[in-house]
Amino acid sequence: MSKPPTPQRLPLRQTWPDAFVARYRAAGHWRGETFPGFLRERATRCAEVVAVVGGGARWTYAQLWAEAERIAAGLLAQGLVPGDRVVVQLGNIPEFIAVVCALFRAQLVPVYALPAHRLTEVAHFARKAEAAAYVCAERFDAFDYRALARDLQAEVPAVRRVFVVGAPAEFAAVASLDGPRTALPGDPDPQAVAFLQISGGSTGLSKLIPRTHDDYIYSFRASNALCGIDANSVYMVALPAAHNFPMSSPGFFGALYAGARVVLSPGPGPDVAFPLIAAERVTCVGLVPPLALLWADAAGKTAHDLSSLQVLQVGGAKLVPEAARRVVASLGCRLQQVFGMAEGLVNYTRLDDPDELVLTTQGRPISDDDEVLVVDDHGVPVTDGEVGHLLTRGPYTIRAYHNDAAANARSFTDDGFYRTGDMVQRLPSGHLIVQGRATDHINRAGEKISAEEIEDHLLAHPQVFDAAVVSIPDDFLGERSCAFVIPGDETPRPAELKAWVRGRGLAAFKVPDQIVFVDAFGTTAVGKISRRELRAQLRARFLEDQKDAG
């Protein structure tokens, strides 16, 4: 086989100033651990312990590591070289974990796409990450990812290789990968970027979030202590495994770090998850608020034994106190609110917090070294109890996105604080209450949608003169998306516009839930107003009209 070309790529970096590095090390947050390092150690120490259950498989720690090494060696034998980035798009199947561990083992860099993402998004990740390969499943939720792989390679030829879990068609099968273990590299630098996570994308397209071994491992090691995860725990992944919440808060990585068992639920609904909870005696699971309510409702009616559940975590979007009460009343286990972000900072209510704090706040930061500022529009700190912008920096919060100077200038202060875009109130105890956000994205049941991104796709339609996408409060989803559209000469049907957005190769959750045609974005303001103000006006007018109608 000819030698693969030496890749010319932007380096991946995530760096903290030296003084912070020294501080985080001295505090024992960063211990120089790496993914392959800790996984290998567990494979020895917990060799016969069940690590991963799902899709009919039941792997011990030794088996998981053997799978990871086989796949890692196979990927290198197929021409990938350490440092290559690999977009991974797999559902909640054991191979997701095996492939990701394999990438770490081979010093390849996973880029996590959600199963819901489609060509436009996957191609964006691949381009932005300069990915050399794509790993997908033959099929998941009735969607054939091999078709997506073909389109992806046509659009981004730098994606040289495709590996498929299941029937590979013209591509290579993950199941048949193999290669000499002697070709595997040693362990990486703990300060190196381990993977690229995807941002919620509040303005425009998603950004790539480089996370290091040291910082990410710290986040889930510390989470374990706050979420009650130890070697006896059984952690269920019910949300998409590629999401930061079920990955690291404490997530399946926290569980693997603890030598616990990970149970992968192929879907988040009670019909699928409840039998698994009963069979595996699941102790901890993380959900978004709408699912928590669905589970609370179903728990009252189910014949499945859910008594093993000790901690139900809810996060990704705001859980209002009334909903929190309902969840606690019907599920009977400890509730833990989780307010986190893929960029870093994660807040938890503590398991021994008074009920009132658990029901009404979104928790407080993991670490004493998480610096939290709540500031007014001019950057001046507000007093506790007042609402302000949440800024943060700390031992597991990034200082920069990958290759995005404009986003970095916008999202980070000169002294390295990340502007979360969230509006919060801080209590004297340090607990935060999320009161909204300063950026225009829609938080649809925990899935973040950029208004701007969807407006761009709507504007590409020949019969759309202008469009503004806003979030509308929704009883079930928390928020839904509503597109206000000024039509061109002819008014298209709403279904046609929805199909248009879907046809642009986007995740289904980004298709506007509602389309409202208007003649103009009539505004009383003189002169040009910002998109942000416009969206706020449209939302206010719409809600007012609804109130009048109801």
Q: Which of the stretches 233-241, 275-283, 315-323, 469-477 binds ligand OOB when contact is defined by CB under 6 A? A: 315-323
Q: Are 93 and 102 in contact (CB under 8 A)?
A: no
| Interface positions, 415-474, toward ligand OOB (CB under 6 A) | 420-422, 434, 437, 443, 446, 448
Q: Confirm or reject binding of residue 342 to ligand OOB (CB under 6 A).
A: yes
* Stretch of 39-47, 171-179, 331-339, 505-513 lying at the interface with ligand OOB (CB under 6 A): 331-339
Q: How far is the CB of 45 from ligand OOB (least distance, A)?
A: 28
Site track for ligand OOB across 10-49, x = CB under 6 A: ----------------------------------------
Name 142's Cβ contacts closer than 8 Å, sequence gap at least 6.
Answer: none
Asked if residue 244 binds ligand OOB (CB under 6 A), the reply is yes
**Minimum Å distance from CB 116 to ligand OOB?**
13
| Three-state DSSP string of 248-317 | HCCHHHHHHHHCCEEEECCCCCHHHHHHHHHHHCCCEEEECHHHHHHHHHHHCCCCCCCCCCCEEEEECC
Nearer to ligand OOB, 92 or 443 (CB): 443
**Comparison of 121 and 422: residue with beta carbon closer to ligand OOB:** 422
Element housing 335 (H / E): strand 334-341
Pairing between β-strand 311-315 and β-strand 334-341 as defined by DSSP bridges: parallel
Q: Is beta strand 133-137 parallel, antiparallel or unpaired with respect to 109-112?
A: unpaired
* CB-nearer residue toward ligand OOB: 190 or 421: 421
Sign of the torsion angle spanned by Cα atoms 111, 91, 232, 293: positive
Helix, strand, coil % in the chain, rounded to nearest 5: 35, 25, 40
**340 makes contact with ligand OOB (CB under 6 A):** yes
Distance of closest approach, residue 294 Cβ to ligand OOB, in angstroms: 17
Of the residues 339, 412, 500, 509, which one makes contact with ligand OOB according to CB under 6 A? 339
The structure tokens 């300060």 sit at 191
Site membership for ligand OOB, residue 510 (CB under 6 A): no
Instruction: Choose one: 67-75, 150-158, 340-348, 506-514; the region binding ligand OOB (CB under 6 A).
Output: 340-348
Q: Are 441 and 202 in contact (CB under 8 A)?
A: yes
Number of residues that bind ligand OOB (CB under 6 A): 24
For residue 341, state whether it binds ligand OOB (rule: CB under 6 A): yes
Tell me the C-alpha to C-alpha distance, in Å, between residue 59 and each of 43, 56, 278.
Answer: 11, 10, 19
Q: Which residues contact 90 (CB under 8 A, 6 or more apart)?
A: 96, 99, 115, 135, 136, 137, 140, 165, 241, 242
Shortest distance in whole angstroms from residue 468 CB to ligand OOB: 20
- CB of 265: closest distance to ligand OOB in angstroms? 17
Question: 134: which strand partners?
Answer: 87, 162
Tokens of 344: 């870093």
Q: Which of 83, 89, 82, 172 is nearest to 123 (CA)?
A: 89
167-173 — which CB contacts under 8 Å span 24+ positions? 167/138, 168/138, 169/138, 171/146, 172/78
Alpha-carbon distance 450 to 10, whole Å?
26
Residue 330 CB: number of other CB atoms within 10 A?
A: 16
Span of 48-56, 81-89, 334-342, 505-513 interacting with ligand OOB by CB under 6 A: 334-342
Shortest separation between residue 449's beta carbon and ligand OOB, angstroms: 11
Choose, by CB under 6 A, the member of 74, 110, 315, 344 that binds ligand OOB.
315
Stretch that binds ligand OOB, among 1-9, 120-128, 243-251, 527-535 (CB under 6 A): 243-251
To ligand OOB, the closest distance from the beta carbon of 37 in angstroms equals 24
Of 210, 268, 316, 388, the residue at the interface with ligand OOB (CB under 6 A) is 316
Q: Does 362 bind ligand OOB (CB under 6 A)?
A: yes
Select from 432, 415, 21 the least CA-distant residue to 218: 21
> Are the C-beta atoms of 146 and 163 separated by less than 8 Å?
no
Chosen residue from 324, 346, 366, 501 binding ligand OOB by CB under 6 A: 346
Interacting residue ranges for ligand OOB, rule: CB under 6 A: 200, 244-245, 249, 315-318, 337-342, 346, 362, 420-422, 434, 437, 443, 446, 448
